[in-house]
Structure 1
Amino acid sequence: MSGSSAVRGTRTAAPAPLPALLATLSAPEWRHHPWRQAAAVLAVLLGVALAFSVHLINTSALSEFSAAVRAANGEPDLSLRAAQPGGFDDALYERVAAAPGVRVASPVVESQAQAFDRAGERVALKVVGVDALVVAGVAPGLWPRVADGEGRTAFLAPDAVFLNAAAQQRLGLHSGETLALQFGLGRVALRVAGTVAAGGPPLAVLDVAAAQQQLGFEGRLSRLDLRLEPGADAAALVRALALPADVVAASSDDATQRVSNLSRAYRVNLTVLALVALFVGAFLVFSVLALSVAQRTPQLALLGVLGLGARERRRLVLAESALVGVLGSALGLAVGTALAALALRWLAGDLGGGYFPGIAPQLQFSWPAAAIFGVLGVVAALAGGWLPAWQAQALAPAQALKGLGGTAGPAAPAWLGPVLLACGAALALLPPWRGLPIAAYVSVAVLLLGGIACVPAAVGLVLARWHPRTQPLALLAVERARHERQAATIAVAGVVASLSLAVALTVMVASFRDGVARWLDTVLPADLYARSATTSAAADTAFLPPGFVDAVAALPGVARVEATRQRALQLDAQRPAVTLLVRPLADPARALPLVDAPVPARTALPGAWVSEAMVALYDARPGTTLALPIGPAGEAVAFEVRGVWRDYARQFGAVTVAEADYQRVSGDTRRNDLALWLAPGTDAAQVIAAIRALAPDAAALDFAQPGEIRAVSLRIFDRSFAVTYYLQAVAIGIGLFGVAASFSAQVLARRREFGLLVHLGLTRRQIVGVVAGEGLAWTAAGALVGLALGLAVAVVLVKVVNPQSFHWTMELLLPWARLAALVAAVGAAGGVTAALSARAAAGRDAVLAVKEDW
Structure 2
Amino acid sequence: MKALLARSSLRHLGGHPWLTALSLLGIAMGVAVVVSIDLASGSALRAFEQSTDVVAGKATHQIVGGTSGLPEGVYTALKLRPDAPAAAPVVQGFVQVEGGNQRTLTLLGLDPFAEAPFRDFSTGNAVGDVGALLTKPGTVVMGAKTARALGVKAGDTLPVMVSGLRKELHVSALLSPAQEATERALESLVISDLSTAQEVLEQQGKLTRVDLSLPGGEAQAERLRAALPPGAELVQTSGRAGTVEQMTRAFRTNLTALSLLALVVGMFLIYNTMTFSVVQRRGMLGRLRAVGVTRGELFGLVLGEALVLGVVGTTAGLLLGILMASGLVGLITRTINDLYFVVNVRRLSLEPFTLIKGLGLGLGATVLAALVPAWEAARATPVTALRRSTEEDVSHRRAPQRALLGLGLLAVSVGLLAWPTQALPPAYAGLFGVMMGTALLVPWVTEKLTLAAAWPLGALFGPLGRMAARGVTASLSRTAVALAALMVAVATTVGVGLMVSSFRGTVVAWLESALQADVFVSPPSLVARRGDSAMVPGLAEKLRATPGVAASGSIRVVHVRVGEVDTDLLAIDFAEGQERSYRFKEGRTEDIWRQVNASPDMLLVSEPFAFHRKVRAGDTLRVSTDQGPHDFRVAGVYFDYGSDVGTVMMPRATYDHWYADRSVTGLSLYAAPGQDVDELVSRVRDRAGGAQALNVRANKVLRQTSLEVFDRTFTITQVLRLLAIGVAFVGVLSALMSLQLERAREFAVLRATGLTPGQLWGMVSLQTGLLGLLAGLFSIPLGLALAYVLVHVINQRSFGWTLQLVVAPGVVGQAMVLALVAAALAGLYPAWRMARANPAMALREE
TM-score range, shorter chain: 0.7 to 0.9
Query: In terms of Rg, which structure is larger?
Result: 1
2:208 to 209, 222, 231: 222
Kept in 2, the 8 Å contact 1:759–1:847? The answer is: no
**Mapping 1:116-195, distance limit 5 Å:** 117=98, 126-141=106-121, 152=131, 154-155=133-134, 160-163=139-142, 193-194=172-173
1:419 to 394, 408, 414: 408
Instruction: Give the letter for the 1:453 counterpart.
Output: L
Cα deviations by residue, 1:168-224 (Å, 9 ceiling, x for unpaired): 578776666667777888667765555677635654544446656775656654333
Kept in 2, the 8 Å contact 1:266–1:353? The answer is: no
In structure 1, runs of 5+ residues without a counterpart are 1-15
CA distance in 1 between counterparts of 2:454 and 2:344 reads: 65
Cα deviation for residue 775 of structure 1 reads 6.0
What is the aligned partner in structure 2 of residue 704 from structure 1?
697
1:519 to 510, 524, 544: 510
Cα deviation for residue 118 of structure 1 reads 6.2
CA distance in 2 between counterparts of 1:593 and 1:167 reads: 47
Kept in 2, the 8 Å contact 1:81–1:250? The answer is: yes
Cα deviations by residue, 1:693-747 (Å, 9 ceiling, x for unpaired): 5446344222222333333443444455345445444434543553454456567
Alignment partner of 2:801: what SS? coil
Cα deviation for residue 450 of structure 1 reads 0.4
Greater mean deviation of Cα atoms: 437-446 or 353-362: 353-362
Report the count of equivalent residues.
Answer: 820
Cα deviations by residue, 1:23-68 (Å, 9 ceiling, x for unpaired): 2111222222112101111111122222222222233332222221
Kept in 1, the 8 Å contact 2:406–2:437? The answer is: yes
Kept in 2, the 8 Å contact 1:637–1:665? The answer is: no
Is 1:449 matched up with 2:471?
Answer: no
Kept in 1, the 8 Å contact 2:391–2:477? The answer is: no
What is the aligned partner in structure 2 of residue 801 from structure 1?
794
Instruction: Give the letter for the 1:155 counterpart.
Output: L
Cα deviation for residue 449 of structure 1 reads 0.7
Is 1:531 matched up with 2:518?
Answer: no
What is the aligned partner in structure 2 of residue 105 from structure 1?
87
Bigger helix fraction: 2
Cα deviations by residue, 1:316-357 (Å, 9 ceiling, x for unpaired): 22111111110011122122223334666x679556654563
Is 1:258 matched up with 2:243?
Answer: yes
TM-score normalized with structure 2 length = 0.84
CA distance in 1 between counterparts of 2:650 and 2:769 reads: 60
Alignment partner of 1:556: what SS? coil
- Percent identity over paired residues: 27
Kept in 2, the 8 Å contact 1:144–1:194? The answer is: no
**Mapping 1:418-817, distance limit 5 Å:** 418-430=407-419, 437-459=424-446, 462=449, 468=455, 473=463, 489-535=480-526, 542-546=534-538, 548-573=539-564, 575-584=565-574, 586-587=576-577, 590-592=580-582, 594=584, 598-599=588-589, 600-601=591-592, 604-606=598-600, 608-630=603-625, 632-636=626-630, 638-648=632-642, 650-679=643-672, 682=675, 687-688=680-681, 690-695=683-688, 697-742=690-735, 745=738, 780-817=773-810
Is 1:233 matched up with 2:216?
Answer: yes
Instruction: Give the letter for the 2:793 counterpart.
Output: V
**Mapping 1:386-425, distance limit 5 Å:** 386-407=371-392, 409=395, 411=399, 412-425=401-414
**Structure 1 residues 169 and 615, CA, compared in 2 at 3 Å: closer, same or farther?**
farther
What is the aligned partner in structure 1 of residue 45 from structure 2?
62
Kept in 2, the 8 Å contact 1:56–1:364? The answer is: yes
Is 1:81 matched up with 2:51?
Answer: no
Instruction: Give the letter for the 1:468 counterpart.
Output: W
Alignment partner of 2:391: what SS? coil
CA distance in 1 between counterparts of 2:96 and 2:726 reads: 49
What is the aligned partner in structure 1 of residue 311 from structure 2?
326
Greater mean deviation of Cα atoms: 38-47 or 258-267: 258-267
Kept in 2, the 8 Å contact 1:452–1:493? The answer is: yes
CA distance in 1 between counterparts of 2:653 and 2:568 reads: 21
Cα deviation for residue 363 of structure 1 reads 3.1
Cα deviations by residue, 1:519-544 (Å, 9 ceiling, x for unpaired): 33333333322212425899776324
What is the aligned partner in structure 1 of residue 290 from structure 2?
305
**Structure 1 residues 820 and 71, CA, compared in 2 at 3 Å: closer, same or farther?**
same
CA distance in 1 between counterparts of 2:165 and 2:767 reads: 75
Cα deviations by residue, 1:652-704 (Å, 9 ceiling, x for unpaired): 21223223333344354321212223346656565455434544634422222
Kept in 1, the 8 Å contact 2:333–2:343? The answer is: no
Alignment partner of 1:140: what SS? coil
**Structure 1 residues 540 and 195, CA, compared in 2 at 3 Å: closer, same or farther?**
farther
Cα deviation for residue 481 of structure 1 reads 6.2
Cα deviations by residue, 1:429-462 (Å, 9 ceiling, x for unpaired): 34667xx622222222111110011123433664
**Structure 1 residues 100 and 30, CA, compared in 2 at 3 Å: closer, same or farther?**
farther
Alignment partner of 1:651: what SS? coil
Instruction: Give the letter for the 2:627 counterpart.
Output: A
CA distance in 1 between counterparts of 2:634 and 2:712 reads: 39
CA distance in 1 between counterparts of 2:740 and 2:133 reads: 84
CA distance in 2 between counterparts of 1:475 and 1:125 reads: 68
Cα deviations by residue, 1:478-529 (Å, 9 ceiling, x for unpaired): 6786798676533422122222222212212222232333333333333322
What is the aligned partner in structure 1 of residue 355 from structure 2?
370
Kept in 1, the 8 Å contact 2:335–2:712? The answer is: no
What is the aligned partner in structure 2 of residue 822 from structure 1?
815
Cα deviation for residue 596 of structure 1 reads 6.0
Greater mean deviation of Cα atoms: 123-132 or 531-540: 531-540
In structure 2, runs of 5+ residues without a counterpart are none
